A and B are shown apart, each in its own frame.
Chain A
Amino acid sequence: MAKGRFMLQIAVEQHFSAPVTDLPEVWAVVLEGLDGDRTIVREIATQKSQAIYLFATSSGHEAGQFSLSDNAHSDLWLAFSGRQPVKILHAPSHVQSPPFDGARLVLLRLRDYGFHVESPGVFSTLRLVSSHAYVDETVPA
């Protein structure tokens, strides 16, 4: 019995209440079991929104180069029973994937990298990252 059309979606929103020197990585996955029929991935997408204020806690320090990615990273993994290797599909993708037969698990991973600034640098930030995928599992004709 194939699962039909379904969605996988995950979002992580972070509010830091104090200035920090480390921004931890966001690592999150969302997963769904499949019935081993024919799987087509219709879309994988990621969104990110982040505000950051970088400053020094003592005077006399020049700001260095600083840039921040506009995007988080998402990839979708299809796992099969037996020895068949996993299929890995990357976002963004807004067209249908080729059909994959026999997948037993679909897993969407969301990552946004962390970073560190050396003292006396610190930063205040808030961040929202999210990812979604639309998947069809159908019985092959």
Chain B
Amino acid sequence: MEIAIAGEGAVVIRFIDKSGRTLLEERISVSGSPTIQAMRLVDLSLNTTGGRALLAPVLMQQSNPEQRVTFDRETPSRFTRARCKKIGCSAKVTQSAARGKAPAPVKGPAGMTGDRRLDRMIRSAAREDSRRR
């Protein structure tokens, strides 16, 4: 699958199996000018101890709302919905995934930066800044 990104920012994508479990989380960060573009090719399967797992990508987070992201030239939600159906996800898992919801990987990152301590520092600095203003 081709992930195409237009514009700066970080995106978080979780790859779920048919039961809705997140097997892989990727954070892709792109920096440069506002016209920068990026592309990432990924295989939608993973070999685990349980055998070969087919995956569906779920776009979880974008740091820049102006940034445009597509999966194989389709909107992420449309692609995710079709892929979930193809790999045999339940209707509930498909619906959640298409809305950008998937569980965190075990001990995986969370929040705005993927680093809870950094998130706390940024929030605290932002609060301090807004108090000063």
**Which residue of the partner chain, among A18, A31, A33, contacts B48 with CB atoms under 8 Å?**
A18
Q: Does A16 contact B (CB under 8 A)?
A: yes
Residues of B within 8 A of A94 (CB): none
Residues of B within 8 A of A32 (CB): 32-33, 35-37
Q: How far is it, in angstroms, between the C-alpha of A132 and the C-alpha of B38 when the chains are bound?
A: 13
A17 touching B31 in the complex, CB below 8 Å, given contacts A22-B47, A122-B49: no
B97–chain A nearest beta-carbon distance, Å: 16
B58–chain A nearest beta-carbon distance, Å: 13
**Which residue of the partner chain, among A3, A6, A28, contacts B28 with CB atoms under 8 Å?**
A28
Could you tell me if A19 and B26 are in contact, using CB atoms closer than 8 angstroms?
no
A12 touching B31 in the complex, CB below 8 Å, given contacts A20-B46, A24-B43, A31-B36: no
A18 touching B23 in the complex, CB below 8 Å, given contacts A10-B28, A28-B40, A31-B38: yes
Contact with B along A1-41 (1 / 0, CB 8 A): 00100111111111111111110100111111100000000
How many residues of A sit at the interface, in one of the four size bands? 20 to 34
Q: How far is it, in angstroms, between the C-alpha of A30 and the C-alpha of B47 when the chains are bound?
A: 28
Q: Does B21 contact A (CB under 8 A)?
A: yes
Could you tell me if A30 and B46 are in contact, using CB atoms closer than 8 angstroms?
no
Residues of B within 8 A of A3 (CB): 33
Q: Does B105 contact A (CB under 8 A)?
A: yes
27 sampled A-B residue pairs with Cβ under 8 A: A3-B33, A6-B32, A6-B33, A7-B32, A8-B32, A10-B29, A11-B27, A11-B28, A13-B27, A13-B28, A14-B26, A15-B25, A15-B26, A15-B105, A16-B24, A17-B105, A18-B106, A20-B46, A20-B47, A20-B48, A27-B40, A28-B28, A28-B40, A30-B30, A30-B37, A31-B37, A130-B29
B-side residues, CB < 8 A to A, are 21-33, 35-43, 46-50, 105-109, 114
